Structures are given as structure tokens and as C-alpha cells.
Structure 1
């Protein structure tokens, strides 16, 4: 598995999560089923971000740490959601804001680690 694949999938996931959450929340006051609008648009935005990462963005070495940091946010939020779903005693401790905070911390850590040693990210 290459860094390009990890960054592509993670960037698509993070974009999907952010666009879906923001659009669903913004439209919730006007549309009763705002998730039915937010989910498809989030999928399209995630696909566009993934394709852009694979085709254009990964070829710019200066952007690789940023792409991996953004990817880590999506992976961490997904991991927190998986723990909340699969481990019932953990549900009181894992909230949406806690998962987002955990994701942001993971993203910053991965960004700093990737920026410290950029030669390892050649593939």
C-alpha cells in the first residue's frame, strides 16, 4: 500500500464526512430530511477530492504532508465511530465532538511527522 493510495482514500473520506455533516446541519432548519441531500453531495465531493488527490495533488511533494494529515482526520473519526458502535461500554465516552477532536489531533500529529521526514513519502 503506497502513500498515494492512503492519502487518496483518506482525503476522500475526510471530504465526504465534512461536506455531509456541514450540509446536513445547514439544511436541517429548512429541510426535514436534510441528510438525504447531504449524503449524495458528500459522496460526490469525496469522489472529486479522491480523484484530485490521486491524479494531481500527490505529484506535488510539498502537499504530501498536508494530504496525509487531512487523511488521518477521516481515518481517526471513522475509528472512533467504529469503537463507539462495536464496544457498547465505550459509547458514553465517545461523542461526536470528541471524535472530531481526536481526529484533528491525529491529523496534526501525522502532518508534523510527515513534514519532518518528507523523503519517506516518495511513492
Structure 2
């Protein structure tokens, strides 16, 4: 396993964990829904992390690029959340900005890998 495989597995797990946790929290219409959503998101993220770590070598090139782009989204969002947490331009690094930057990072990652492999 090289660095790209490890970062892709980690990022895919983070992305899945974030998406599942937010969806469960938003879909449950009662107080303290995070007590259910966060553990479900962590469990889903761990499952995806293990699956990608094992199966990444068996994917074709297009699937690898797509998985790396998916992983880049989560890594970028977590990076922005960390910057916001340590109070570096807290007003600038909102959730909307982090999600937008994550989408941009995903597209740039896919295009960068696509151009490198051509």
C-alpha cells in the first residue's frame, strides 16, 4: 500500500462518515439526534475505510480516480474544519466554504489524475 492508497482509504472513510452522520442527524427530527447520527457515521466510515484499503488495487483506473476524488472531498472538509477549530480566520472557514472547497478539490483531483494518466 502506497501513500495514495492510504490517503484514499482515509479520505473515503472520512467522507462517508461525514455524509452519513449529517444525513442521519438531519433526517431524525428530534433533539439529541447526534447521539445516533455520529456513531452511525463513524461505523459507516470505518467500513468504507477497510473496504477501500483492501479493494483499491482491484479497481480500474477510472474507479481509482473517482475514489481519490471522493476522498479528496472529505480530507479537504476536515482540513477546513481543523483550521476553523484552531481559530484561523474562523469567519472565512464556514461549513459552506468547506463544502465548496471540498467539491473544488474533488474535481481538481480527478482532473489531475486523469491528465497524469493520459
Gaps of 5+ in 2: none
CA-CA distance at 1:61 after TM superposition: 2.6
Distance 2:51 2:117 in 1: 21
Equivalenced residues, count: 116
Instruction: List structure 1 segments (4+ residues) > 2 angstroms apart after TM superposition.
Output: none
**For the structure 1 residues 58 and 26, does the alpha-carbon distance in structure 2 shift closer, same or farther, using more than 3 Å as the test?**
farther
Q: CA RMSD in A?
A: 1.5
Q: Which residue of 2 aligns with 1:112?
A: 111
Of 11-20 and 56-65, deviating more is: 56-65
Distance 2:16 2:73 in 1: 10
Alignment of 1:66-81 (within 5 A): 66-81=66-81
Secondary structure of the corresponding residue to residue 46 of structure 1: helix
Gaps of 5+ in 1: none
TM-score (norm 2): 0.90
Alignment of 1:1-123 (within 5 A): 1-27=2-28, 29=29, 31-62=30-61, 63-88=63-88, 90-118=89-117
Q: Is the 1:14–1:74 Cα contact (8 Å) retained in structure 2? A: yes
CA-CA distance at 1:75 after TM superposition: 0.8
Distance 2:19 2:57 in 1: 21
CA-CA distance at 1:48 after TM superposition: 1.1
